[in-house]
């Protein structure tokens, strides 16, 4: 698809990734989405903003991934009756995003089938919308209990298992409602939003530089991806290009985040099928990586190391040798452990065909990121829209088509090995130079987008800055938005005891979608 085919007047957004923005009328939303979908494009994110202070109404923002780049569509909505056409029939992941846009701002997706609340439980009343400017961030309201109409499954022998919000392990809170017959899952319905802590509204009390720290705490396990996406958004609107050494260090940190998360998941996947040997082994490797992070960069999870304009840490002189030695050791150990996983009959029996999402279904439902690549969805921003320094690294994307727990495990192994290859390349390219570029105040009304391939998938930050460099709107988008609904499909027909394994193989963020 070429941009011209859409017949819309786009203007290019400055920044590290190819992106265009356009204002469109409400009548054009569905046809444009349908055309993008037909040409293989995807929905990345959907959110709203309150523009009434600027003499307008509300606005809806839709981010689409197409082969040429990122398309940002904005719709002006009425100040009194903000409504827009439903696009969830075209892009199924839009459904929950639309429901959230209603809960947070009162924007209504006309004719959408599911109009239930999503983020709102009992902590603010219906008819109030936290992201409207008149809503007071600090007010304390009486907490009501949540009444949520789950969809019942009826029939002989069907019964329900409610799980959560407090789960049996060290996991984030959320509610899962299983409808089962015997051991088999007929239907899973998720209820999320328990971790909603007002991140988007909180951002509007901050200035653009402070926002970076908050962005790095949207989902702590992906702090590098969020911090980089935020920095990219702010740099795009202020015309800043970080120095080459800073960009290489950012990539080094992002790959280390991918490595430690994938190692942890590979360990837990072993643990979940009673191979505690796998847990012990992979978590030794993970701990080694975290300790090196702490020793070299001053933080085990690298929080606040990526900042607008560059990086807040440097690789100390002895660091290169340590990282090269670590890389070699990891490659060796992962090779050994991979062979053990591959040949372990009990583990393979649990992994193979479990929680399968076929490539067809994945494409239809918009599965993205790591689980997407395990189901034949070949999207990886590092390969597709390689921002610097990835444009010089030639990232090899890992894809598989089986779409089961085994495939998601293999993609992790391959991605860790690729990250280790990238680590060597980055260390090789790293030359001396400054670590930051000064970031001026953003012009009032500035609009920027940042997007980074985190270990789960693409992390997107939409940023608008108002007067005095204050944040007017910050929308962080986690790939978990797309993938949570697909998890409901992945477990159908599986036995209940396999749910923890399937869930772990997706390893989605709760906080990233609850915000």
172 interacts with other proteins by CB under 8 A = yes
| Residue 289: CB minimum distance to other proteins, A | 11
| Residue 137: CB minimum distance to other proteins, A | 5
148 interacts with other proteins by CB under 8 A = no
477 interacts with other proteins by CB under 8 A = no
401 interacts with other proteins by CB under 8 A = no
Choose, by CB under 8 A, the member of 340, 363, 397, 435 that binds other proteins: 340
Piece of the chain touching other proteins by CB under 8 A; list 274-282, 423-431, 447-455, 465-473: 274-282
Of the pair 337, 486, the CB lying nearest other proteins is at 337
Phi–psi pair at 470, nearest 5 degrees: -85, 145
198 interacts with other proteins by CB under 8 A = yes
126 interacts with other proteins by CB under 8 A = no
Name every residue whose Cβ is closer than 8 Å to that of residue 315 and which is 6 or more positions away in sequence: 249, 252, 296, 297, 323, 430
Partnered with residue 495 across adjacent β-strands are 184
223 interacts with other proteins by CB under 8 A = yes
Place of tokens 């799980």: 163
Q: Determine contact, residues 96/191, Cβ cutoff 8 Å.
A: no
Of the pair 290, 449, the CB lying nearest other proteins is at 290
Of the pair 30, 279, the CB lying nearest other proteins is at 279
- How many whole angstroms separate alpha carbon 319 and alpha carbon 333? 21
| Residue 169: CB minimum distance to other proteins, A | 7
Phi–psi pair at 479, nearest 5 degrees: -60, -15
Pairing state between β 42-50 and 83-85:
unpaired
345 interacts with other proteins by CB under 8 A = no
Strands, E, within 51-104: which ranges? 58-65, 70-77, 83-85
127 interacts with other proteins by CB under 8 A = no
Piece of the chain touching other proteins by CB under 8 A; list 296-304, 314-322, 428-436, 455-463: 296-304
169 interacts with other proteins by CB under 8 A = yes
Choose, by CB under 8 A, the member of 28, 89, 135, 150 that binds other proteins: 135
- How many whole angstroms separate alpha carbon 2 and alpha carbon 8? 11
308 interacts with other proteins by CB under 8 A = no
The candidate with the shortest Cα–Cα distance to 10, out of 88, 69, 94, is 69
Piece of the chain touching other proteins by CB under 8 A; list 59-67, 335-343, 380-388, 492-500: 335-343
Here the tokens at position 71 are 């398309």
Name every residue whose Cβ is closer than 8 Å to that of residue 284 and which is 6 or more positions away in sequence: none
The candidate with the shortest Cα–Cα distance to 60, out of 485, 469, 462, 366, is 462
Burial class (CB in 10 A: 0-12, 13-18, 19+), 355: buried
* Contacting positions for other proteins (CB under 8 A): 121-124, 130, 135-141, 143, 145-146, 165-166, 168-173, 193-199, 201-202, 213-214, 217-221, 223, 264, 277, 279-281, 283-284, 286-287, 290, 300-301, 303, 336-337, 339-340, 343, 509-511, 514
């Amino acid at each position: 698809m070429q941009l011209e085919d859409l017949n819309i007047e786009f203007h290019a957004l400055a920044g590290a990734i190819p992106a265009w923005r356009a204002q469109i009328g409400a009548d054009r939303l569905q046809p444009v989405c349908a055309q993008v979908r037909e040409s293989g494009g995807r929905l990345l994110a959907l959110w709203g903003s309150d523009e009434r202070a600027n003499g307008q109404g509300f606005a809806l923002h839709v981010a689409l991934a197409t082969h040429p780049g990122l398309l940002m569509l904005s719709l002006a909505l009425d100040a009194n009756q903000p409504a827009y056409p439903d696009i969830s029939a075209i892009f199924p992941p839009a459904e929950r995003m639309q429901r959230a846009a209603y809960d947070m701002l009162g924007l209504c997706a006309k004719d959408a089938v599911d109009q239930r609340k999503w983020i709102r439980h009992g902590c603010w009343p219906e008819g109030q919308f936290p992201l409207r400017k008149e809503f007071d961030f600090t007010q304390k309201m009486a907490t009501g209990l949540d009444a949520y109409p789950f969809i019942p499954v009826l029939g002989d022998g069907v019964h329900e298992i409610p799980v959560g919000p407090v789960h049996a392990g060290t996991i984030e809170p959320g509610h899962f409602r299983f409808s089962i017959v015997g051991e088999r899952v007929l239907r899973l319905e998720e209820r999320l939003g328990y971790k909603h802590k007002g991140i988007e509204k909180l951002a509007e009390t901050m200035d653009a530089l402070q926002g970076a720290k908050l962005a790095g705490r949207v989902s702590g396990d992906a702090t590098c991806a969020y911090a980089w996406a935020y920095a990219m958004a702010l740099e795009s609107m202020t015309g800043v290009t970080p120095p080459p050494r800073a960009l290489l260090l950012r990539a080094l940190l992002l790959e280390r985040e991918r490595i430690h998360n994938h190692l942890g998941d590979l360990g837990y996947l072993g643990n979940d099928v009673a191979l505690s040997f796998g847990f012990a082994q992979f978590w030794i490797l993970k701990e080694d990586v975290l300790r090196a992070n702490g020793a070299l960069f001053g933080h085990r999870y690298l929080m606040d190391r990526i900042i607008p304009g560059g990086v807040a840490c440097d690789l100390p002189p002895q660091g290169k040798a340590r990282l090269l030695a670590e890389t070699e050791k990891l490659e060796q150990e992962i090779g050994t452990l991979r062979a053990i996983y591959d040949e372990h009959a009990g583990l393979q029996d649990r992994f193979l065909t479990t929680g399968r999402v076929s490539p067809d279904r994945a494409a239809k439902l918009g599965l993205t990121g790591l689980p997407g690549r395990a189901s034949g969805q070949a999207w990886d921003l590092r390969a597709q829209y390689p921002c610097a320094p990835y444009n010089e690294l030639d990232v090899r994307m890992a894809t598989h088509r089986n779409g089961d727990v085994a495939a998601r495990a293999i993609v992790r192994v391959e991605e860790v090995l690729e990250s280790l290859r990238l680590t060597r390349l980055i260390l090789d390219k790293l030359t001396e130079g400054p670590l930051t570029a000064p970031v001026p105040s953003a012009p009032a009304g500035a609009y920027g987008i940042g997007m980074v391939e985190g270990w789960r998938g693409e992390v997107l930050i939409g940023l608008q800055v108002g007067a005095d460099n204050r944040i007017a709107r910050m929308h962080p988008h986690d790939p978990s938005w797309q993938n949570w609904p697909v998890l409901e499909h992945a477990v159908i027909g599986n036995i209940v005891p396999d749910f923890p394994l399937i869930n772990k193989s997706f390893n989605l963020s709760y906080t990233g979608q609850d915000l």
